[in-house]
Every structure is written in C-alpha cells, then in structure tokens.
Amino acid sequence: MSVLVLTGSARQGSYTRALGALVADVAADGALAAELTALPFFNQDLEGTPPAEVVALREQVADADLLVVITPEYNGTISGLLGNAIDWLSRPYGAGVLRGKPVLAVAASPGEIGGARAVVALRTVLGNAGADLASAALTVGAVAERLDDPALRAELLAALDDAAPAAKAA
Ligand SMILES: Cc1cc2nc3c(=O)[nH]c(=O)nc-3n(C[C@H](O)[C@H](O)[C@H](O)COP(=O)(O)O)c2cc1C
C-alpha cells in the first residue's frame, strides 16, 4: 500500500511540508512527491504535449494506492501552487489520474482553527476531479506547535486508517 503525499507550500521551512514529511513517515510505504514549484502554470494549450514534470507527477499519482494532499490555508482556500497541480492532475477531462483515486484531504495552519475553510475547498476541487475522497477530512490547527506532538502522530494514523486501512505502518 503506497502513499504519496502532495504538499502545497513553496516556503522554506513550510509547516505544510513538515506535516507532509510526518505523514510519509507514519505511513507504511510513504513518500513525498516532488516539489510542485517544478510544474509550469497550467495551460490548456499544452494538454496534448504535457511538460515532463507533469508527466512524472501524473505517473507518481497513478502508481500510488493512496494520495494524501495537504494544503496551507491562503485567504480561506487552497494555495495557488496546489490548485495548479490539481488542475494538471485533473486533465484530460474525464480521464485524469485523480479519477477514482483514493485521496485523503488535509489542511494545516499555524492558527488555532486555521485550515477549516481550506480543507472544504480542497475536498471540493478534488471531488470535482473525480477523486475517491476519504470520508474524514483532517485539519491541523496550531501546526507549528504540534509537529512534535505524539497525539498528532496518532491523529495521522487514525486518518490513514480511515482512508485506507493498509496505509498505516504497523
Ligand atoms: C497569502 C496568504 C494568505 C493566508 N491566509 C490564511 C488564512 O486564510 N487562514 C490561515 O489560517 N492562515 C492564513 N495564512 C497564514 C498561513 O497559514 C501561514 O503563512 C502558513 O505558515 C503557510 O503555510 P506553510 O508554513 O506551509 O508555508 C496566509 C498566508 C499567506 C501568505
């Protein structure tokens, strides 16, 4: 059961990416996807000849048994970086790699209740792209203080268990 983790922040020292690394560590066979900054802006003119970085990401997603997508909350929604990646992964229309893919949506924020709006938006776009969303969505507020919290590890394990019981490490 392979778990691929996509994270939506370009920032050095990103909490979202640190959370992604934790998810990859907690999962039985987890890996972080390549930095999404490598992807060009989505351009429908390029759909017939997608750039190599897009082809590589699509292959990684296609090969994963479970995709965990983690967004920071920007102005109450997902980051543009992540939205761009999802646009690429959602195409070609009706046949993108997200169609039928088991996906756990996660949002993180340094704010106490941060991420609650972003995770709703994330589930909306992933659902529109045809993803098979896990019933539970996860928000990690106060993420800066929680990265070393054993309770967070337990929450991540529970979320992986809910999304795909074979995904968590024994
Ligand atoms: C453009 C922008 C908009 C933001 N909007 C929100 C927001 O709506 N809610 C929130 O909790 N935090 C918001 N923040 C703060 C981010 O949660 C914070 O910068 C966080 O560290 C970003 O994630 P990262 O650490 O993975 O880069 C915003 C930050 C930026 C740069």
Span from the CA of 119 to the centroid of ligand 1 (angstroms): 13
pTM (predicted TM-score)? 0.96
Mutation to probe ligand 1, out of 109, 139, 145 (largest number of atoms < 8 A from CB):
109
pLDDT of residue 167: 65
pLDDT of residue 169: 56
CB 1 within 8 A of CB 29: yes
Q: Which residue has the tokens 């690394």?
A: 21
Q: Which atom of ligand 1 is nearest to the CA of 19?
A: 26
CB 88 within 8 A of CB 60: no
> Domains (ranges, CATH) in the chain?
2-167 (3.40.50.360)
pLDDT digit string, tens, across residues 46-105: 999 999 999 999 999 999 999 999 999 999 999 999 999 999 999 999 999 999 999 999
The pocket around ligand 1, CB under 6 angstroms, is made up of 9, 11, 14-16, 72-76, 109-111, 114
What gap in Å lies between CA 53 and CA 164, rounded to an integer? 28
Q: Where in the chain does DSSP place strands (E)? A: 2-7, 29-32, 66-72, 102-108, 132-133, 138-140
pLDDT digit string, tens, across residues 104-147: 999 999 999 889 999 999 999 999 999 999 998 899 999 999 99
